[in-house]
């Protein structure tokens, strides 16, 4: 079984123990993503969001595993998820799909399934976590709300959050990313100035 691992955030530049053959390439399906999940370390991370997300080309690499369960477990472990429910998958060859992913972003699952059928893969897996911005901040996501959230962080956490946003692949162009880059230009001195 040929399994694509789809990515759009830190997995692209920080694989850790994710087992893939070759490198990630920007050949994945176009999916709606946004920096709308507050991670454990306080960063705003990218997730698929069919309401708030901007359509962006995603990245794909082939899993080193040819067994779907093993590939899912590998991605779960890389993402440090407590269960496999947070890993989305579609395997048109055997008519299987992730119930969690269908609940969180049904149109994206259809898009990914169609892409799998045309790209020579048998299945695809991806991180299928949802937005938790409103839950964590008590206000709906907007560019202004994201900037307010980031402004309230301590300097170390803000630096990490800005680094995450800046390191996202160039194909990931979203309203929050544009707003953050306008608020904290990469070349400006002071907080958020990062060494390359």
pLDDT digits (tens, 9 = 90+) for 54-79: 999 999 999 999 999 999 999 999 99
16 confidence band (pLDDT: 50, 70, 90): very high
Instruction: Kindly give the residue spans of alpha helices, DSSP state H, lying in the chain.
Output: 10-13, 68-79, 99-104, 106-118, 133-137, 143-151, 155-167, 175-183
Q: What angle do CA 101, 73, 83 make, to 5 degrees?
A: 60
Q: Which of 11, 8, 38 is nearest to 130 (CA)?
A: 38
Q: Is the separation of the CB atoms in 61 and 84 below 8 Å? A: no
Q: What is the mean pLDDT of residues 162-169?
A: 96
Q: In the prediction, which pLDDT does 83 show?
A: 87
Q: What is the mean pLDDT of residues 78-89?
A: 92
Q: Is the pLDDT of residue 187 over 70?
A: no
Question: What are the boundaries of each domain within the chain?
Answer: 3-183
Centre a 10 Å sphere on the Cβ of residue 83 and count the other Cβ atoms it contains.
8
Q: Could you tell me whether strands 123-127 and 3-7 are parallel, antiparallel, or unpaired per DSSP bridges?
A: parallel
Q: Which of 138, 21, 128, 152 is nearest to 75 (CA)?
A: 128
> What's the rounded Cα separation, in Å, for the pair 104 and 50?
8
pLDDT tens per residue across span 88-145: 999 998 899 999 999 999 999 999 999 999 998 999 999 999 999 999 999 999 999 9
Q: Which residues contact 85 (CB under 8 A, 6 or more apart)?
A: 98, 100
Q: What is the mean pLDDT of residues 165-187?
A: 94
Name the 3-class secondary structure at 72: helix
Using a pLDDT cut of 70, give the percent of the chain over it: 95
Centre a 10 Å sphere on the Cβ of residue 130 and count the other Cβ atoms it contains.
17
């Amino acid at each position: 079984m040929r399994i694509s691992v789809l990515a759009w955030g830190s997995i692209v530049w920080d694989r850790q123990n994710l087992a893939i053959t070759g490198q990630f390439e920007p050949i994945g399906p176009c999916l709606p993503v946004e920096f709308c999940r507050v991670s454990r370390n306080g960063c705003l991370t990218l997730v698929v969001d069919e309401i708030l997300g901007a359509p962006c080309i995603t990245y794909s690499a082939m899993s080193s595993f040819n067994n779907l369960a093993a590939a899912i477990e590998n991605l779960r472990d890389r993402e440090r998820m407590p269960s496999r429910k947070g890993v989305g998958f579609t395997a048109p060859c055997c008519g299987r799909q992730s119930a969690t992913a269908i609940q969180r972003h049904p149109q994206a699952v259809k898009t990914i399934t169609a892409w799998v059928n045309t790209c020579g893969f048998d299945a695809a897996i991806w991180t299928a976590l949802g937005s938790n911005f409103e839950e964590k901040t008590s206000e709906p996501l907007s560019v202004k709300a994201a900037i307010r959230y980031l402004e309230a962080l301590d300097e170390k956490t803000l630096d990490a959050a800005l680094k995450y946003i800046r390191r996202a692949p160039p194909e990931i162009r979203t309203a929050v990313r544009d707003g953050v880059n306008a608020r904290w230009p990469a070349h400006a001195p002071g907080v958020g100035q990062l060494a390359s």
